[in-house]
Amino acid sequence: MKLKRRSKAIGDFSMASMTDVIFLLLIFFMVSSTLVVPSALRVLLPKSSQQTNARPVTRVTITPEGEYFVGVGNGEDRQVTFEEIDPFLQETLDQNPDMFVALYADEGVPYGEVVKVLNIAVENRYQMVLATRPLKE
């Protein structure tokens, strides 16, 4: 019995090149996802029905242990004392006059600690945003 060889029609194509493209995309996304650095500080934010769409330039974070951290843009947060917050914010304002500050305070932080940071913002007329998480999570 003689087998007939089928010639390739115009509509036939090899899936090998498509598979190569898919694997290359997979590798690209796996490598590029390691470049995204999430905030290393984990704080449980209080819930709120209102959320801001603005992206803060500067962050002040208060952990449940009462530690203060500051950061700018995509930079890494660094630990500071309470007295170092005001000079840090003033230095950042000098570099970026349109700056506004996001305050990330864990919901277990005493209200007085949050008010102390808010007082710094009021005294220096910084634009401050309180970071919260949505009611529906």
pLDDT for residue 92: 85
Q: How many domains in the chain?
A: 1
| Kind and range of the H or E run holding 13 | none
CA-based nearest residue to 59, from 117, 119, 137? 117
Residue 25 in any domain: the answer is no
Cα–Cα dist 6/48, whole Å = 67
Q: Using one digit for the tens of pLDDT, what is the confidence trace for 33-86?
A: 766 555 555 655 556 666 555 555 788 889 888 899 998 877 788 899 999 999
Residue 35 in any domain: the answer is no
Residue 29 in any domain: the answer is no
Cα–Cα dist 115/7, whole Å = 79
Residue 16 in any domain: the answer is no
DSSP state of 34: T
| Kind and range of the H or E run holding 72 | strand 68-72
pLDDT for residue 137: 54
**Phi-psi label, residue 124: left if phi above 0, alpha if psi -120 to 50, beta otherwise:** alpha
Amino acid at 84: E
Residues of the chain with pLDDT > 90, as a percent, come to 7
Residue 114 is part of a domain; what is its CATH number?
3.30.420.270
Angle (nearest 5°) at CA 72 between 69 and 77: 30
pLDDT for residue 68: 92
Tokens 């009462």 -> residue: 66
Domain that holds residue 68: 47-134
Once rounded to an integer, what is the mean pLDDT over residues 87-106?
Answer: 84
Would you say residue 4 has pLDDT above 80? no
pLDDT category, 98, cuts 50, 70, 90?
Answer: confident
Q: Using one digit for the tens of pLDDT, what is the confidence trace for 8-30?
A: 556 666 777 788 888 888 888 88
Instruction: Give the chain's length.
Output: 137
Residue 129 in any domain: the answer is yes
Residue 11 in any domain: the answer is no
